[in-house]
Amino acid sequence: MDTGYIDNGFIVDLAHAVKISEVIYELSRTLDMPEAKDKHICLKLGVIDLTPEELTSIDTLIELMGAKLACISTNSTVTLESATSLNIQVSEFTNEINAPSFKTEDEPKEEVVQALDNIFGEEQAKDENAIKVVRHDDEFEEPEPKEDEEDHIKELRIQPEQLPTLYIRKTIRSGQSISSDGNIVIVGDVNPGAEIIAKGDVTVWGILAGIVHAGSEGNSYARIRALKLNPVQIRIGDVLARRPDTVNLPFIQKTSEYTPEEAFTHKGSIIIKKIHNEN
């Protein structure tokens, strides 16, 4: 099994998908981004079982959208056997950099869901865990924990200063996956198709436009900060959200003015607020 950085790669995290229609829908959304064109696509699949025919359909979709399937990662024996039979490379994503020992999520439109499920013969169940990304002004304050939640929070809440910090001074390119058992601080941009995973907080002194997961071991009190927050997919603890269809800003659109923002969880949603006023 190969490991490491994929040259000209673009990581697509589909580990949360539990049926083929979800894989097809999310993959189509992501590959529609201009940054994904002509890239080698690396699919992160979770426990979903995919037959050779289903993997072939995914491969064909990727080619039709102007990219190429380079490799997959999977926790499913069935998917692994299917990939092997089709000579699809199976990889494990590892750090290029040594690290220390980290809805409104738009639901698929109903007609799209029905069409995909008709094609693949599945019934779409309503997602009861739909996540909503909410942007608030600076006056939003995270409520203090209730007294009866204190012991539970002590278990989950990991203070950033208690963890080691991985400091990276470079732009994280598409296809790179960086992970850490502590916090991650990046001075540079995180391009679409790149992935950042930290047990603690993630801070990006630049544009965060890739996949980011803070509190990777279930710490829903972790934070994500950036000078410009525009991730393809954002996760804090077990709370997941993705960029709405209507937000597809070109990553190369640079500016000399930024509005630093911070993301955290509150009542099952990911809240994004400005870190300070510009007045």
**Residue 12: how many CA atoms within 13 Å on its side-chain side?**
30
CA-based Rg of the chain, rounded to a whole angstrom?
Answer: 19
Which parts of the chain have pLDDT scores under 70? 1-6, 93-161, 243-256, 276-279
Counted residue by residue, the chain has a size of: 279
> How do 239-242 and 233-236 pair as beta strands?
antiparallel
pLDDT of res. 136 = 52
Q: Is 190 helix (H, G, I), strand (E, B) or coil?
A: strand
pLDDT of res. 140 = 53
Neighbours of 221 (CB within 10 A): 20
pLDDT of res. 252 = 41
pLDDT of res. 133 = 52
Neighbouring residues of 45: CB distance < 8 A, sequence distance ≥ 6:
14, 15, 17, 23, 72, 73, 74, 75, 76, 79
The single-letter DSSP state of residue 114 is H
> How do 269-274 and 261-266 pair as beta strands?
antiparallel
Domains belonging to the chain, first-starting first, are 2-92 (3.30.70), 133-274 (2.160.20.70)
> How do 165-168 and 68-73 pair as beta strands?
unpaired
Cβ contact 21:51 at 8 Å: no
Q: Is 19 helix (H, G, I), strand (E, B) or coil?
A: coil
Cβ contact 209:190 at 8 Å: yes
Q: Could you identify the residue written with the tokens 């024996």? A: 77
pLDDT of res. 115 = 60
The single-letter DSSP state of residue 56 is H
| Pair of tokens at residue 93 | 């994503």
